[in-house]
């Protein structure tokens, strides 16, 4: 076994979901919200593993090479023969607004539950998942089994990350039923509220989620306006966006916020303090092109 593929002894952050190529007009970039979170959390020193899949094709091999360049363990990145590596086609409209088409029936739609993955889940300190990887029955079934396998004290982080085709209300309710922490952006909140019959006012929405589900923290990100942190039974707080020396692009900023927040929580910080870590890391990512920091920019902070 390659040392890059060894499971760390320390309880890991286990991230579940898509890894793919963003096919931009300027060229392909690695992405997928879960993959971004995993790679970025690893960059700041978290013991992190990604449960995902690539195809046995050139894009898949290139993706694995990029992970290895960042010393990211590929233990649970499965290679699926007969299914292509995931990709998102990005086109720019005449008004400059990007349009996205997520390719269907790709490798990450077929993430399998292996004995090694189940073993990792059984000792996880934190578990991150979203809604997009639940579009296929196979990956959703694996996710459900993992959620039943992780320890009772494992932090469960649900990033709604709403994308078309929109997840069903059942998928969203099931996800919230297994989440301690819910992350949304300000554009996603009214969508989720409408689909689940919840109020659209932010404080009322948070209170309704807390009343109906085991969620104890709602993270509501608002881009340059920062983020609001709602903890159950506590007054919400605003965490301002951290300044960036020079913004190259904002790709992956929300995922960097998630990575920094989770890492902060695992280090024993309060949700307010962890959100500040997330904001600081998001600013750092905005100073680079793309969501994945280049290997030369990596340093272990934790």
CA distance 75 to 12: 12
Q: Is residue 66 part of a domain?
A: no
| Choice between 154 and 294, residue whose per-residue pLDDT is larger | 154
How crowded is residue 279: how many other Cβ atoms within 10 Å of its Cβ? 23
Contacts of 238 (CB under 8 A, 6+ apart): 226, 227, 228, 229
pLDDT at 8 over 70: no
CA 201 – CA 216 distance, rounded (Å): 18
Mean predicted lDDT score pLDDT of the chain? 93
DSSP 280: H
pLDDT band at 96 (very low <50, low <70, confident <90, very high): low
Q: Which residue has the tokens 């920094």?
A: 260
If one compares 34 and 252, the residue with the highest pLDDT of the two is 34
In angstroms, rounded to a whole number, what is the distance separating the alpha carbons of residues 46 and 55?
Answer: 27
Q: How far apart are the first and last CA of the chain?
A: 26
pLDDT tens digit sequence for 181-235: 999 999 999 999 999 999 999 999 999 999 999 999 999 999 999 999 999 999 9
Q: What is the CATH number of the domain that holds 200?
A: 3.40.1190.20
Q: What is the mean pLDDT of the segment spanning 8-13?
A: 75
The per-residue pLDDT for range 55-77, each reduced to its tens digit, is 999 999 999 999 999 999 999 99
Question: Tokens 């069903």 map to which residue?
Answer: 168
pLDDT at 1: 39
For residue 184, being part of any structural domain is answered with yes
Number of domains in the chain: 1
Burial 260-276 (b: 16+ CB within 10 A, else e): bbbbbbbeeeebebbbb
User: 271's torsion region: left (phi>0), alpha (psi -120 to 50) or beta?
Assistant: alpha
Q: Is 169 inside a domain boundary?
A: yes
Q: Between the CA atoms of 227, 229, 230 and 233, what dihedral angle is there, to the nearest 10 degrees?
A: -160
pLDDT reading at 140 higher than 50: yes
| pLDDT, tens digit, 9 for 90 and up, residues 126-136 | 999 999 999 99
**Dist. CA 68–CA 118, nearest whole Å:** 23
Residue 62, domain member (yes or no): no
Tell me how long the chain is. Answer: 302
For residue 95, what pLDDT is reported? Answer: 67
Residue 111 domain boundaries? 11-18+33-51+106-292
Q: How many beta carbons lie within 10 A of that of residue 250, not counting itself? A: 15
Instruction: Give the CA distances from residue 153 to residues 99, 126, 180, in Å, rounded to whole numbers and listed in that order.
Output: 40, 9, 10
Residue 3: predicted pLDDT: 42
Give the pTM.
Answer: 0.93
Residue 86 lies in a domain: no
CA gap 67, 292 in Å, rounded: 10
**Does residue 83 belong to any structural domain of this protein?**
no
> Which pLDDT value is given to residue 45?
94
Is residue 94 in some structural domain? no
257-289: pLDDT as tens digits: 999 999 999 999 999 999 999 999 999 999 988
Backbone dihedral region for residue 252 (phi beyond 0: left; psi -120 to 50: alpha; all else: beta): left
> Could you tell me the pLDDT band of residue 91, with boundaries at 50, 70 and 90?
confident
CB 215 within 8 A of CB 195: no
Handedness of CA 222, 224, 225, 228 (dihedral sign): positive
Q: Are 162 and 199 in contact (CB under 8 A)?
A: no
């Amino acid at each position: 076994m390659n040392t890059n593929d060894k499971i760390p002894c320390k309880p890991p952050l286990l991230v579940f979901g898509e890894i793919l190529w963003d096919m931009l007009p300027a060229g392909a970039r690695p992405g997928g919200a879960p993959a971004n979170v995993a790679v970025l959390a690893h960059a700041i020193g978290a013991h992190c593993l990604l449960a995902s899949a690539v195809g046995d094709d050139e894009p898949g091999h290139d993706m694995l090479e990029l992970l290895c360049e960042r010393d990211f363990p590929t233990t649970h990145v499965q290679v699926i023969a007969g299914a292509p590596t995931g990709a998102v086609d990005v086109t720019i409209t005449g008004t400059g607004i990007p349009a996205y088409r997520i390719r269907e029936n790709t490798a990450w739609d077929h993430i399998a539950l292996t004995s090694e993955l189940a073993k990792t889940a059984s000792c996880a300190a934190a578990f991150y998942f979203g809604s997009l990887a639940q579009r296929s029955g196979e990956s959703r079934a694996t996710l459900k089994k993992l959620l039943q396998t992780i320890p009772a004290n494992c932090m469960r982080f649900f990033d709604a990350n709403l994308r078309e085709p929109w997840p069903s209300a059942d998928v969203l309710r099931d996800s919230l039923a297994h989440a301690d922490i819910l992350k949304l952006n300000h554009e996603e909140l009214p969508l989720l509220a409408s689909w689940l019959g919840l109020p659209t006012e932010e404080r009322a929405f948070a209170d309704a989620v807390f009343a109906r589900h085991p969620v104890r923290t709602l993270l509501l990100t608002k881009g340059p306006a920062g983020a609001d942190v709602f903890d159950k039974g506590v007054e919400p707080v605003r965490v301002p966006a951290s300044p960036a020396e020079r913004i190259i692009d904002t790709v992956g900023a929300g995922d960097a916020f998630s990575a920094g927040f989770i890492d902060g929580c695992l280090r024993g910080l309060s949700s307010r303090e962890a959100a500040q870590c997330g904001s600081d890391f998001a600013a750092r990512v905005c100073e680079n092109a793309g969501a994945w920091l280049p290997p030369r920019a990596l340093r272990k902070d934790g």
